[in-house]
Structure 1
Amino acid sequence: MDSAFPPAFQSDPQAAAQPVADAIDFFDDPLPAQSIHFAVPPQLTLTWRVTASATLRIHVAPVWVTRARSPYDYWLKPGETLRLERGERIWLSTEAALPARVTLTSAWRPPFAGVRRGTERLAAWLALLTLRRPRKA
């Protein structure tokens, strides 16, 4: 008996497993997201302070990653990722003959979101001060 679906839509567990795994990894970060792409030159060490929790993804060549306050170093191969926390400092280098490409992806925050949040906190604090002040009769 023939299937009602064309061959492209028939389920094959072996063929379907890989795209689903890739889709899960791809959508692991919250959306919208912002990505910074840069190259790590050979025989040079770059340093980076992470301003927001992010995912580091390696392309083209292996990268050696050192984290501040961590006893471990990481050798990441192309396609591998590493989660980084806000405020963390990392050092990146490669021993390959060609530059390693790196992508740092984090959740997108609107411009001046920190200033807006700080202003709202200040306004709430001032409102509490005015409510707590005893009124003179």
Structure 2
Amino acid sequence: MDDAFQAASLTASQPASQPASQPAPLTLADATDRFDDPLPSQSVHFAVPPMRTLTWRVKASATLRVQAAQVWITRARSPYDHWLQPGETLRLERGERIWLSTETALPARVSITSAWQPPFAGVRRCMERLAAWLALLTLRRSREA
């Protein structure tokens, strides 16, 4: 629904005793727009030396961006290789292993950006998994009894 049409329909349906200067009620779209601010992120910038291969284990879902020179990227469980030019990006998933290389004479600059994680987020995630596993084990044993 168009915002102007919605505002016009709201003022037209108001009773005559209500003043027209009252602001229109907030819609769901207005409320969700407030939470669309980007979360803090962390970036790791590094150079890929010429004619060498680096490996990287992705700790959190991230975006790889090539800053300078063409980069060759191989993913552990993918049959495809990726050649990224400067300015191009590639989405990486948590737990994925990648290999980076360049065939140019100059080092390639690369950055990996992911959402910031609070300290001990990994420990908290492990504890949640352990609690879920224990709950499942308890449920299975109670069904067997």
Band the TM-score falls in, shorter-chain normalisation: 0.5 to 0.7
Q: Distance in 1 between matches of 2:50 and 2:123?
A: 38
Percent pairwise identity: 82
Q: 1:113 matched to which residue of 2?
A: 121
- Name stretches of at least 5 consecutive residues in structure 2 with no aligned partner: 1-37, 138-145
Q: 2:42 matched to which residue of 1?
A: 34
RMSD between aligned residues: 2.7
- Name stretches of at least 5 consecutive residues in structure 1 with no aligned partner: 1-29, 130-137
* TM-score, normalisation: structure 1: 0.65
Q: 1:98 matched to which residue of 2?
A: 106
* TM-score, normalisation: structure 2: 0.62
Matched residues, number: 105
Matching of residues 1-137 of structure 1 within 5 Å: 31-119=39-127
Q: Distance in 2 between matches of 1:50 and 1:96?
A: 25
Structure whose alpha-carbon radius of gyration is higher: 2
Aligned residue for 2:114, secondary structure, equals strand
Q: Which amino acid aligns with 1:76?
A: L
Aligned residue for 1:75, secondary structure, equals strand
116 and 42 in structure 1: CA distance in 2 versus 1, 3 angstrom threshold: same
Q: Distance in 1 between matches of 2:40 and 2:126?
A: 22
127 and 93 in structure 1: CA distance in 2 versus 1, 3 angstrom threshold: closer
Q: 2:17 matched to which residue of 1?
A: none
48 and 116 in structure 1: CA distance in 2 versus 1, 3 angstrom threshold: same
